[in-house]
Amino acid sequence: MIKKLFFIYICIGLLLCGCSFAPKYTQPKIPIPDTWPDGAAYENINNIPGTSISDLTWENFFIEKSLQTIIRTALLNNRDLKLAALNVERARDLYGIQRAELYPTFNAIGEASKKRVPANVSGTSSVSKRVQYDFNLEIASWEIDFFGHIRSLKDQALETYLATEQARLSAQISLIAEVVMAYLTFAADRENLKLAQATLKNQQESYDLIKKSYQIGLATELDVRRAQTLVDIARRDIPRFVQQVAQDQNALNLLAGTQVTEKLLPRDLSNITPFKEIETELSSNVLLTRPDILAAEHRLKAAYANIGAVRAAFLPRITLTGALGTASTEMNRLFKPGSGAWNFSPQITIPIFDARSWAALRVSKAERKIMLTQYEKTIQIAFREVSDVLSIKGTINKQIEAQMSLVDSVKETYRLSKKRYEMGLESYLGVLDAQRSLYGQQQILISFQLAKLANQVKLYAVLGGGGTFEK
C-alpha cells in the first residue's frame, strides 16, 4: 500500500509541472518620445547641476528638519496612507489564498456509525445492528492543475497584489508632495500677512501725517481720503490672510493626521531651506519606474494571466479525492494491525459545450486591451506632467528676476512720488497709485517664489519620488 501511495504522489508531482495557456507577456512599446520636449520654455534646464533622482530619498531632498518631522508624522498617521497599506495587506492575503489552491487540503476525520438493518433486507432473516469506527487522513476534491488553471489565477492574484503595493507607493509620494505643498502655502500666506501688516503700519503713519497737514491747511480733504484708501486696503487684507493661514494649518494638520506644533511651522518663504536640484538631462524611460506606471503594468500582466485561466476552462479538469486511515467494528481495535483502510477516487471532467466559456474568453481579451490602453495612457500622462514641470523650471527664474526688478522699480517710483508730494510738486494721487502698485507687485513676487518651490516638489514627485519610507 505504501508503495502504491508513493507512486501516486510521484505522478501528482509530475502533473504539477503541467503547461500554462496564458499568453506570453512582452512589455509594450512606450508611446512617448525618448527625450523631453525642447524649445524656448526648456532652455538652460540642463545647465543646472543636479542629483540623479535614483540617488534621492525624500529625507535628503527636503533638507529642512522641521519639514522632515512633519513628513514622518504624516507617513505614520495619515489615514489615506493607512487605507492604502491595508489594501496592500488585503491583496497579499488574497494572493496567499489563491496560491494555496495549488496544494491539497488534508483533514483528519474521526467517525463512528451505528445502524439497525431490518430483517427483510439484512440477508439473514433477522434484525442486525452494524457498528463501525473510522479514522482517516483525507484529501477532498483536490484539483490537479495540469493545464495551469489555478496557476494562472495565482499569477493574476500576485500581479494584483503587486499593483496594489505600487499604488501604495504612489499614494505615499503624493502624500509627501501634498505635505510639502501645504507647508509652502502656509509659509507664503504668512509672508503675505507680514507684508499686509507692514503696509498697514506704513500707510497708517502716512495717513496720520496727511491728516495733521490737513488740519493746519497744508493738505486737502481729497488727500486725506486717498491716504485712508490705502489704510483700508491693508486693513481688509490682514484678516483675509489670517484666515488663509489658519486654513493652511488645518490642511497641514489633516495631512499629518495630528496637530502640527507651532515650532515646526515656517515663519515665511525666505527662511525655508532650499531643496536639492534634480538632474533633468535623462531619458524619458525613467518614467517606467514611477509607481503608478508600474501598477498599471502589473494590472496588464494580471489581465494576461486571466486569459490563461479562462483558456484552461476549455480543457479537462482532474480532481482527486482520497483517504488513508483505519476502520474497525470495535473502538479498541481501531488502531490494531490489520485495520488499515484507504480509498483513491480520481475524477476527470471534460467540457463539451458551455457558451459562457467563449464569452468569458472574449471578455478576458477585451480586458487585456483595456489594461494595455490604460497603461499607455498612464505613461503619456506622466510624460505630459514632467514636460509641464520642466517648462516651468525653464522659465520661472526669468519671471522671478523680472518681477524683482519690477518691485525695485515700483518701490523707487513710490519713493520719488512721495518725495515730490512732500515738496508740493505732485498730488497725492501719484503716491496712491505707486503704493498700490508696489503692494500688488510684492504679492506677485511672493506667488512666483512659491511657484518655484512648488515646481521643485512636483518635479520630485512626477519623476517617481526617489526612495521610499520604511517604518
- Asked if 310 and 62 touch (Cβ cutoff 8 Å), the reply is no
What are the beta bridge partners of residue 322?
Answer: 139, 344
Domains and CATH numbers, the chain: 17-102+146-315+358-462 (1.20.1600.10), 105-144+316-350 (2.20.200.10)
Residue 218 CB-half CA count within 13 A: 10
- As a whole number of angstroms, the distance between CA 85 and CA 83 comes to 5
Q: What pTM was estimated for this model as a whole? A: 0.82
Nine-digit cell at 171?
499614494
The whole-angstrom separation of Cα 266 and Cα 63 is 14
In whole angstroms, give the CA distance from residue 30 to residue 284. Answer: 10
Q: How do strand 128-144 and strand 340-349 relate by DSSP bridges?
A: unpaired
C-alpha cell at 261: 506644533
What distance in Å separates the CA atoms of residue 291 and residue 378, rounded to the nearest whole number? 11
Model pLDDT, residue 125: 67
Query: Percentages helix, strand, coil for the chain, rounded to the nearest 5?
Result: 65, 10, 25
Residue with cell 488574497: 94
The DSSP H or E segment spanning 409 is helix 396-422
Q: Give the whole-angstrom CA distance, residue 426 versus residue 438.
A: 18
d(CA 421, CA 334): 117
Determine contact, residues 301/159, Cβ cutoff 8 Å.
yes
Amino acid type, 82: K
Give 10-residue mean pLDDT values along the chain (471 residues): 45 53 86 86 70 76 91 91 86 79 76 74 68 75 75 86 90 92 94 90 79 75 79 88 94 92 90 82 83 93 89 81 76 73 78 83 92 94 92 90 93 84 73 83 93 92 67 37
Q: How far apart are CA 439 and CA 410, in angstroms?
A: 9
Grid cell of 448 as nine digits: 512666483
Residue of 160, 173, 177 lying closest to 87 (CA atoms): 160
Check residue 466 and give its pLDDT: 62
Cell of 385: 506632467
Which residue shows C-alpha cell 489565477?
153
- Predicted pLDDT of residue 13: 46
312 within 8 A of 149, measured Cβ to Cβ = yes
pLDDT recorded at residue 114: 77
CA distances from 257 to 73, 82, 179 (A): 7, 10, 11
Give the pLDDT of residue 470.
42
